[in-house]
A = this chain, B = another copy of it.
């Protein structure tokens, strides 16, 4: 579809003009910790004084609000020539869950694409240093939209040491490199024993290794409570990854 067919596509660039860095958190495999990394990196980023946004693009199963302990029936964006996402824990936070609440959201791919265009066309982010985007697993409309509708997206890839995750990340890196996408790096999550496979993968694709996060069963219990989350080992390790990542920001 060309930009002429859908006027919303012309607006998206305007809406994001004052967002300096767009960082989609990606992985074709599910359950590697994308949602936790996206949500907690946003908190770390605020703590570091950056103007930070978080967009949940997992539209058929949004969960960033659950991590951040937000009840979407009680918080709503302000409508004003589009919508202004509320600031929660210092993060400009946008999710379809404001509207779908905890109901199931079964959507065909073309409907997902439509929802994403709508969200991007109406959301007024204002000035942001960094916008983190939580994406769903797989390699379909959401991921393709991220690579299509944003100017210079710089994905941060999450992987676990599992062979299934490594093979999935390999396919994703192949695609991103082919498309000339500027990859920020790879975070290795849920490490039980150090193997070096992800480091090797990064070397092979010329991508930065952003550090490893040990497997931390304590995170699950902390979900929904910001103070508890800040006290996890997971959070401490993410702070180190953020320090590397920060030097690469525009």
Which of A42-50, A135-143, A205-213 lies at the interface? A135-143
Q: How far is the CA of A224 from the CA of B66 in the complex (A)?
A: 35
Residues of B within 8 A of A126 (CB): none
Partner of A112, one of B28, B109, B113: B109
Q: How far is the CA of A20 from the CA of B112 in the complex (A)?
A: 34
Q: How far is the CA of A162 from the CA of B72 in the complex (A)?
A: 20
Minimum CB–CB distance for A183 against chain B, Å: 14
Q: How far is the CA of A35 from the CA of B31 in the complex (A)?
A: 12
Do the beta carbons of B192 and A104 come within 8 Å of each other? no
* Residues A129-163 near B (CB distance < 8 A): 136-141, 143-144, 160-163
Partner of A106, one of B31, B35, B102, B143: B143
Q: How far is the CA of A129 from the CA of B174 in the complex (A)?
A: 39
Chain A: interface size category:
35 or more
Residues of B within 8 A of A23 (CB): none
Residue of B nearest to A34 (CB): B30
Which of A3-11, A55-63, A80-88, A239-247 lies at the interface? A55-63
Minimum CB–CB distance for A38 against chain B, Å: 12
Q: How far is the CA of A61 from the CA of B106 in the complex (A)?
A: 20
Residues of B within 8 A of A143 (CB): 106
Q: How far is the CA of A44 from the CA of B112 in the complex (A)?
A: 37
* Residues A81-136 near B (CB distance < 8 A): 102-113, 136
Contact of A29 with B by CB under 8 A: yes
Do the beta carbons of A105 and B139 come within 8 Å of each other? yes
Excluding A29-B31, A109-B109, 11 further A-B contacts by CB distance (< 8 Å) are: A31-B32, A60-B140, A63-B164, A63-B168, A104-B139, A106-B139, A106-B175, A108-B109, A108-B141, A137-B137, A140-B141
